[in-house]
Amino acid sequence: MAKAMTKSASKPVGKPASKPAAKAAAKPAAKAAAKPAAKTASRAAAGKTVAKAKAKPAKKPALTISMLKPSVNNMTVRVFARAAGLDHAETDAWGLTRSPEYMARNPAHLTPMIEDKGLPRGVLWESCAIMQYLSNKHGLEKFYPKAPAKRAMIDSA
């Protein structure tokens, strides 16, 4: 045991323990002081981006399609509008087709139905009529050509 005591006694004494403890205590205090300022700045920046986003109102699509999603006839209009790249909104009419509001716009209470400002009543129903109207309105000749013979083939399908 005498050797063990001499070894520990012969070790040189290092730096006082108070300096590292003081540095360690100072770092968290400095970080804590910097964090609220950084958070406030980031929150202010986030508020500015939110304010900018609120300044621009969302553009309402010109075309609204009311449909019953499981219906194949309704799906043809949905697929057509997407393939043509038309700006549109889709609404589910499940349970609404016999409501007074729906019947006032569409007395036949059929789906699909589109709402478009260019229509005399503001609405049009029947999938083939809708696709023909949209093709003619937007000049979509790749879907509905202007040549009468080609149109007749499409109309007969």
Question: What are the structural domains, with CATH classification, of the chain?
Answer: 63-156 (3.40.30.10)
Q: Are 92 and 68 in contact (CB under 8 A)?
A: yes
- What are the distances in angstroms from CA 28 to CA 34, 38, 62? 10, 15, 57
- How far apart are the C-alpha atoms of 45 and 102, rounded to whole Å? 45
pLDDT > 60? residue 44 = no
pLDDT > 70? residue 28 = no
List the single range of 33-47, 75-89, 100-114, 118-132 with lowest mean pLDDT.
33-47
Return the pLDDT at 32: 55
Alpha carbon of residue 72 to chain centroid: 26
Q: Is 11 helix (H, G, I), strand (E, B) or coil?
A: coil
DSSP string, 13-25: P-S-THHHHHHHH
Reported as a single tens digit per residue, the pLDDT across 13-22 is 555 555 555 5
Q: Are 107 and 157 in contact (CB under 8 A)?
A: no
Return the pLDDT at 43: 53
Q: What are phi and psi of 113, to 5 degrees?
A: -135, 135
